[in-house]
Amino acid sequence: MIHNRQLNPYEQTQIARYARRTDFKGDATTAPIEYITGKVEFCGQVFKIDERALIPRIETEQLVDLAFKVIQKKIYKSQNSSLMIADIGTGSGAIAICLAKKLANYNQLVNMIATDISEEALTLAKINARNLLSNREPAVKFICSDLLQTIPEQSLDVIVANLPYIPTNYLKVLEDAVLKHEPHLALDGGSQGLDLIARLLNQATYHLNPRGKLLLEINHSHRLSDFHPWKKTYDLTILPDENGANRYLIASIKS
C-alpha cells in the first residue's frame, strides 16, 4: 500500500534537482544548481532562490542558532516586554524567516524587521515569507533601507546580519558559480572585507537599546584585532564555525 506523505525539505530539493536536470539540452552552464532549480534548503526549510539574492550557506544556519539563543535569554529577562529583532541585509529573507519560525512560541513577545538595500531582493524575501510563515509565527516587516538608515534610534534589542564580508582581492579566486551568478552587492566587502560591517557597527551604537547585541557573520581571515576601533563601545567575541574557522562576531553594547 502506498501512503501519501509530505516530502521533507531535503527530498524536495533533491527531486527539484533531478527533475530540472532531465530538462537540460546539453548547454554548458556555470550557474549554481540552486539558481537552476530555484530552490535552496536552509534550516530545514525550502526557500525560493534566484539571482536577486545570495544563496544562503550552511555556515549561516549556525548564525541563526546563535541568534535564537541570544533572543531566548533576552526574552526570559525582559519581564514580558516585547523585543525588537532586526535582520540587516536580509537577501532572500532566510535568516529572518528561520528565526521567526524558531520563535513561534514567543509570538507575542517578539517583533521582527528585515532590511535590504535591494528592492529586488526584498520582493524575493516577501515571497518566501508568504510561502513559509504562518499566523503562529512572528510576522516579519520588510523595509528597504541602507543598513539601519531608516530605522529609529535605540529601537532594537538584537541585530543579526550576514553582510558582504569577502575582501575584494579574494573575489577573483571564487569559482565561476559564485562570481558569475551571485550578486556582487552581496559578496564584495571592500579591501579588508569590512566596509559594510564597519558601517553597521557604527550605526548600531545608536540603534541598539542598552545591553543590546549585534551578531555578524565574518570572513575566516578576520581577527579580533580587526575590530579594535569598537572595543570601547562593545564587548567583542569571535566564535568559530563547525570547521574551526573564525566566522561569527558577537558585539554587546557595554553597560
**Beta strands 45-48 and 39-42, pairing class:** antiparallel
* CA angle (13, 15, 19) in 5-degree steps: 120
Mean pLDDT of 81-98: 97
How far is it, in rounded angstroms, from Cα 212 to Cα 73?
Answer: 12
Q: Are 154 and 209 in contact (CB under 8 A)?
A: yes
Average pLDDT, the chain: 87
Domains (ranges, CATH) in the chain? Answer: 54-253 (3.40.50.150)
DSSP label at 56?
A: P
How far is it, in rounded angstroms, from Cα 227 to Cα 110?
Answer: 30
pLDDT band at 80 (very low <50, low <70, confident <90, very high): confident
* Predicted pLDDT at 22: 42
DSSP label at 93?
A: S
pLDDT digits (tens, 9 = 90+) for 122-165: 999 999 999 999 999 999 999 999 999 999 999 999 999 999 88
